[in-house]
C-alpha cells in the first residue's frame, strides 16, 4: 500500500526526477539544521549541507546525473552573482583605502597555494585533478572546484579517450581541514602575539571614526570677522574646503531656518549645519568659528529633512547637478546611502536605482520631488526578474568567452563562477547596464546566496558520497589530509607573518583577511563571534572577489598545464 512512499524516500540506484528532487531537499534541509549546531562557537553553517550529502550518498541516495549537473552549476551561478552584488560597492571603494595592500597579500597567498599544489602533484602520483581538488577543499574555495570540473568536462569533450578522477572526492576530504585550519591559525595568532582583542577592536574603531571616508555632521557658530559678509562659495573656494555641504542656516537673532545657496553670505553669530568629510568639517569650524549647541537649527518647523528612495527612471543614472533640485525646488541633497555606504552628495554623484537620498528643504517641495524620484518602498520589495536574470545572462556570456593561450589544449574560460561574479561586480559598481539595475533587497540577496550554495553543496555532496568511503580507503585519505595540511597552513602562516609582523595590520582586519583569502564563511562567522565585531566582514568583502577570480584561474591553469 505504501510502496509509492518507499520509492519516493528510500535510496534508488536509478532515481527519476521526483526522487532526485526529494534527495536534494532532504540533503539541504538536514544540512542546514546540522549547520546551526555549534561547538565552542564554531559551526559549519551551510557547508554542513555538503557533509550531509556525502553521508546520504554513502548510504545509497543519488540523483539523476543531468539533474545533478544542472543543480550544481545553477547553484554556483546564483551564489557568486549574489556575492558580487553584495560586496561590489565596498570592493571598489576599498581601493581608495587599504584595499590594494590587502588584495596583494591575499592574491600572493593564492599563488603560494597554487605553487604548493603543483609541488605536491610533482612529488606524488595522485594526479592533477585530485591535486586541484585537494587545493580547493584545503582553501574552502567552492568556485575553484566548479571551475576545475568545468575545465575537465571541456577536456573530456576533446579527448574522449581520457578518463579523469572526480576532484570533488579530494575536495570533500580536505574541506573540513580548510575550515578548522583557518580557525586554528586565528586562535594561535592571538596566543603567539599575545593580542588583546578588546584593545585591537577599540583602536580600529577609533581609527575608523577619524577616517576621511566617513561623514560628519556638526553645527557651527560664525565668529571669525574675516568670514563676515562673505558668500559660502568664496569661503569654501578660498580655503580649499572640498567635500563639504552647508545644509541649514539660521541668522543671529532669528528663529527661521533655511537651506542656503552658495551665494548666501554669512553674518556674525549665524549658525550653520555642516555635513561632510570629518577633516574638512573640523577645518571649517576652526576657520569660521566654533561648534554650536544651538537647538533651533535642528527643528523641523521651517525646513524638514527626509530620506527618500530613488525608484523612478526619471532620476536613475542622473547626476545631482542634472536634477538641480536646489534651483528648481529649493531642496538640498546632503547624503546618499548606497549598499551600506554613506556618500556625500556632490554635484557629480550619479544616482542609482535603490539609492536613498537625504533631502533638506520645505515639506511641500519634498512631496513634489517625490513624484519623479519615486520613493516607492513597495516597488523595491518586489523582485525585478528582468534585472536579475538579465545580469545572470551577461555573467554567463562573460564566463563563456574563450581565452586562447598558445600551447594549452583548450581555451581558458572564466566559467560559471568568475563570469557571473565579474558581471555582478560591474553592475553593482555602475548601478546597472541599460534596463538592468543592481538593486536587490537584502532579504532577496541573502536568500539567493544561501539557496545557491545549498544547491551546489547538496549536488556535490551526493555525487561525491556515492563512493566516498571506497575512494577514501583506496586513495589513503589520511595521506590526502596530510598533503592538504600544507596547502591550508603554509599560506595562512605567510599571511600572518607578512600581515602582522611587517605590515602591522590590525588583528580584527587580519582575521577577516585570512577568512576572505580562503573564501571561508564558517571561519568568518567564527571571527565575528570571536571578536564580537563585524570588522572582519569588511576585510572579507574587500578581498573575496579578486581572490575568487584568482583561485578559479589557478585551478584551471594547473589542470590545463599538467593534464
Q: Round the CA-based radius of gyration of the chain to a whole number and report it.
A: 28
Q: Which residues contact 190 (CB under 8 A, 6 or more apart)?
A: 197, 507
Q: How many CB atoms lie within 10 A of CB 183?
A: 23
Of 103, 233, 153, 122, the C-alpha closest to 547 is 103
DSSP 209-262: HT-TTS-EEEEEEE--TTTTT-BHHHHHHHTT--SEEEEEEE-TT---EE---T
Quote the pLDDT of residue 385.
82
CB 49 within 8 A of CB 31: yes
Does residue 556 have a pLDDT over 90?
no
What distance in Å separates the CA atoms of residue 50 and residue 461, rounded to the nearest whole number?
4
Quote the pLDDT of residue 248.
92
Q: What is the pLDDT of residues 217-272, one digit of tens each?
A: 899 999 999 999 999 999 998 988 888 899 999 998 888 998 898 899 999 999 99
CB 185 within 8 A of CB 179: no
Q: What is the pLDDT of residues 421-476, one digit of tens each?
A: 888 888 888 887 877 888 887 778 888 888 888 888 888 888 878 877 777 887 77
CB 558 within 8 A of CB 131: yes
What distance in Å separates the CA atoms of residue 388 and residue 378, rounded to the nearest whole number?
18
Q: Average pLDDT of 339-362?
A: 85
Q: Which residue has the higher pLDDT, 465 or 288?
A: 288
Residue 345 backbone phi and psi in degrees, to 5 = -80, 75
pTM here is 0.78
Sorted by where each starts, the structural domains of the chain and their CATH numbers stand as 3-204+383-562 (no CATH), 216-378 (3.30.70.1450)
The bridge status of strand 244-250 relative to strand 289-291 is unpaired
Quote the pLDDT of residue 1.
53
Q: By three-state DSSP, how is residue 27 classified? A: helix
Quote the pLDDT of residue 120.
94
Q: What angle do CA 89, 95, 98 make, to 5 degrees?
A: 120
Please name the residue ranges forming H helices in 289-407.
320-323, 325-329, 363-373, 377-381, 385-400
Q: Average pLDDT of 551-563?
A: 87
Poorest-confidence range of 156-160, 197-201, 207-211, 485-489? 207-211
Q: Average pLDDT of 330-346?
A: 83
CB 454 within 8 A of CB 31: yes
Quote the pLDDT of residue 43.
67
Q: What is the pLDDT of residues 121-159, one digit of tens each?
A: 999 888 898 999 999 989 988 788 888 888 888 787 777
Q: What is the pLDDT of residues 360-406, one digit of tens each?
A: 988 888 888 888 888 887 777 777 788 888 999 999 998 888 887 77
Assigned C-alpha cell, 320: 545631482
Q: Average pLDDT of 513-532?
A: 79
Q: By three-state DSSP, how is residue 40 classified? A: coil
Q: Average pLDDT of 500-524?
A: 87
Q: What is the pLDDT of residues 171-200, one digit of tens each?
A: 888 888 887 889 889 989 989 998 888 888
What distance in Å separates the CA atoms of residue 457 and residue 27, rounded to the nearest whole number?
9
Q: By three-state DSSP, how is residue 377 classified? A: helix
What distance in Å separates the CA atoms of residue 219 and residue 310, rounded to the nearest whole number?
28
Amino acid at each position: 500500500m505504501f510502496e509509492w512512499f518507499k520509492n519516493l524516500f528510500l535510496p534508488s540506484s536509478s532515481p527519476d526526477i521526483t526522487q532526485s528532487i526529494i534527495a536534494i531537499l532532504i540533503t539541504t534541509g538536514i544540512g542546514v539544521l546540522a549547520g546551526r549546531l555549534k561547538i565552542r562557537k564554531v559551526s559549519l553553517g551551510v557547508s554542513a549541507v555538503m557533509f550531509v550529502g556525502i553521508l546520504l550518498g554513502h548510504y545509497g541516495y543519488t540523483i539523476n546525473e543531468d539533474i545533478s549537473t544542472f543543480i550544481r552549476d545553477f547553484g554556483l551561478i546564483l551564489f557568486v552573482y549574489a556575492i558580487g552584488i553584495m560586496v561590489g560597492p565596498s570592493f571598489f571603494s576599498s581601493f581608495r583605502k587599504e584595499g590594494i595592500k590587502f588584495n596583494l597579500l591575499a592574491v600572493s597567498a593564492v599563488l603560494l597555494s597554487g605553487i604548493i599544489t603543483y609541488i605536491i602533484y610533482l612529488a606524488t602520483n595522485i594526479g592533477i585533478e585530485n591535486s586541484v581538488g585537494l587545493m580547493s577543499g584545503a582553501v574552502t574555495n567552492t568556485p575553484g572546484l566548479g571551475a576545475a570540473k568545468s575545465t575537465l568536462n571541456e577536456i573530456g569533450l576533446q579527448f574522449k579517450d581520457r578518463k579523469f578522477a572526480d576532484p570533488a572526492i579530494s575536495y570533500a576530504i580536505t574541506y573540513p581541514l580548510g575550515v578548522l585550519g583557518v580557525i586554528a591559525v586565528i586562535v594561535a595568532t592571538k596566543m603567539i602575539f599575545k593580542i588583546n582583542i578588546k584593545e585591537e577592536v577599540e583602536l580600529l574603531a577609533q581609527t575608523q571614526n577619524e577616517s576621511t571616508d566617513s561623514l560628519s555632521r556638526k553645527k557651527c557658530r560664525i565668529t571669525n570677522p574675516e568670514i563676515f559678509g562673505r558668500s559660502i562659495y568664496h569661503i569654501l573656494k578660498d580655503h580649499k574646503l572640498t567635500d563639504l555641504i552647508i545644509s541649514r542656516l539660521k541668522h543671529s537673532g532669528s528663529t527661521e531656518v533655511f537651506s542656503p545657496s552658495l551665494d548666501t553670505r554669512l553674518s556674525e553669530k549665524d549658525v550653520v549645519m555642516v555635513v561632510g568629510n570629518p577633516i574638512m568639517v573640523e577645518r571649517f569650524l576652526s576657520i569660521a568659528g566654533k561648534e554650536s549647541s544651538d537647538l533651533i537649527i535642528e527643528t523641523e518647523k521651517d525646513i524638514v529633512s527626509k530620506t527618500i528612495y530613488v525608484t523612478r527612471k526619471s532620476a536613475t543614472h542622473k547626476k545631482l547637478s542634472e536634477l538641480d533640485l536646489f534651483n528648481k525646488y529649493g531642496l538640498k541633497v546632503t547624503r546618499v546611502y548606497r549598499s551600506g555606504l554613506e556618500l556625500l552628495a556632490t554635484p557629480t554623484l550619479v544616482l542609482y536605482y535603490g539609492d536613498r537620498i537625504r533631502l533638506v528643504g520645505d515639506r511641500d517641495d519634498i512631496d513634489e520631488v517625490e513624484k519623479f524620484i519615486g520613493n516607492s518602498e513597495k516597488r523595491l520589495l518586489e523582485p525585478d526578474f528582468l534585472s536579475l536574470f538579465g545580469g545572470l545572462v551577461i555573467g554567463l556570456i562573460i564566463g563563456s568567452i574563450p581565452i586562447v593561450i598558445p600551447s594549452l589544449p583548450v581555451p581558458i574560460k572564466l566559467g560559471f563562477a568568475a563570469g557571473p561574479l565579474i558581471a555582478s561586480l560591474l553592475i553593482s559598481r555602475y548601478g546597472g547596464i541599460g534596463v538592468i539595475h543592481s538593486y536587490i533587497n537584502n532579504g532577496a540577496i541573502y536568500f539567493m546566496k544561501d539557496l545557491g550554495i545549498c544547491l551546489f553543496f547538496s549536488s556535490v555532496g551526493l555525487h561525491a558520497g556515492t563512493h566516498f568511503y571506497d575512494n577514501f580507503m583506496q586513495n589513503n585519505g589520511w595521506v590526502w589530509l596530510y598533503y592538504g595540511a600544507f596547502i591550508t597552513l603554509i599560506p595562512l602562516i605567510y599571511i600572518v607573518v607578512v600581515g602582522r609582523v611587517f605590515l602591522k595590520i590590525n588583528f580584527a582586519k587580519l582575521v577577516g583577511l585570512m577568512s576572505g583569502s580562503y573564501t571561508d564563511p564558517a571561519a568568518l562567522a567564527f571571527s565575528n563571534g570571536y571578536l564580537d565585531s563585524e570588522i572582519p566582514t569588511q576585510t572579507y568583502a574587500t578581498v573575496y572577489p579578486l581572490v575568487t577570480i584568482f583561485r578559479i584561474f589557478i585551478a584551471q591553469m594547473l589542470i590545463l598545464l599538467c593534464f
